[in-house]
Structure 1
Amino acid sequence: MNKARAIAAAMPAGLPVRLLFAVAAVLLALLPLPRTGHAQGIVRGAQEGSYEGNRIAGPVGGAVGGVVGAGVGGAVGAVDGILGIPYHGRRHCRGYYDGYHHFRCYR
């Protein structure tokens, strides 16, 4: 009867296991840095929120709108930045698209 032997793989003598895990953890932590650098929406969200809140409800609405806008703008900006969705700007006028698919503002 043949007896099969299992040969255990030897760890390299130069590097301890904890150091290998630490290096792997640092590399995985540094991996998303280029994407998160584009995740900025807090400032724009606070500006737009305070503008709209001030326009609708006065100074108190401006303060509340700034806080809410910073939270929501930060969340949306982070998601858009991490996913790489570009911000092309929004139109700040009401208007329509003509027959040639050009946007025209009402004056």
Structure 2
Amino acid sequence: MNKARIAAAPSPAGLAFRLVFAAAAILLALLSLPQAGHAQGIVRGAQEGSYEGNRIAGPVGGAVGGVVGAGVGGAVGAVEGVLGIPHRHYRHRCHGYYDGYHRFHCYR
């Protein structure tokens, strides 16, 4: 007695579920890519690092400073971008000092 086996055809619902899951995974991967604004830390870090390294130690220092500045600038930019921390500079327009009450006084 030979028993015939019937192979089950893939259900269209299972195929549709896989396609929706794959599309969602691709969309999530595209949304997690950094925007062009987040890459600014790398470029500026390399520029400032190479400038300071070249000023202090000559051409070799410029090359090393550029590499280190790009690494640090990229890391800081990535952390600030991921956490959403705005980069603010608190600078005074004059030279001065803080008194005991944490108030800033200008020399000029």
* TM-score, with structure 1 as normaliser: 0.65
Contact 2:49 2:66 in 1 (8 A): yes
User: Any idea what SS the aligned residue of 1:96 has?
Assistant: strand
**Off by >6 Å, runs of 4+ in structure 1:** none
Within 2, Cα distance between the matches of 1:90 and 1:61?
Answer: 29
Give the structure 1 partner of residue 82 of structure 2: 82
Greater Rg, structure 1 or structure 2? 2
**Distance change (3 Å), C-alpha of 1:101 and 1:30:** farther
Give the structure 1 partner of residue 38 of structure 2: 39
Give the structure 2 partner of residue 70 of structure 1: 70
Higher relative contact order (CA 8 A, sep 6+): 1
**Distance change (3 Å), C-alpha of 1:94 and 1:54:** farther
User: Any idea what SS the aligned residue of 1:29 has?
Assistant: helix
Percent identity, aligned pairs only, is 73
Q: CA deviation at 1:58?
A: 1.4
Q: CA offsets, 1:43-93, max 9 Å, x none?
A: 1101111122112211210111011111221121111111111112375x9
Within 2, Cα distance between the matches of 1:73 and 1:90?
Answer: 19
Q: CA deviation at 1:15?
A: 5.0
**Distance change (3 Å), C-alpha of 1:56 and 1:39:** same
User: Any idea what SS the aligned residue of 1:88 has?
Assistant: coil
Higher helix share: 2
Q: CA deviation at 1:95?
A: 5.1
- The one-letter amino acid paired with 2:98 is Y
Give the structure 1 partner of residue 53 of structure 2: 53
Matched pairs, number: 93
* TM-score, with structure 2 as normaliser: 0.64
Within 2, Cα distance between the matches of 1:62 and 1:82?
Answer: 29
Give the structure 1 partner of residue 103 of structure 2: 101
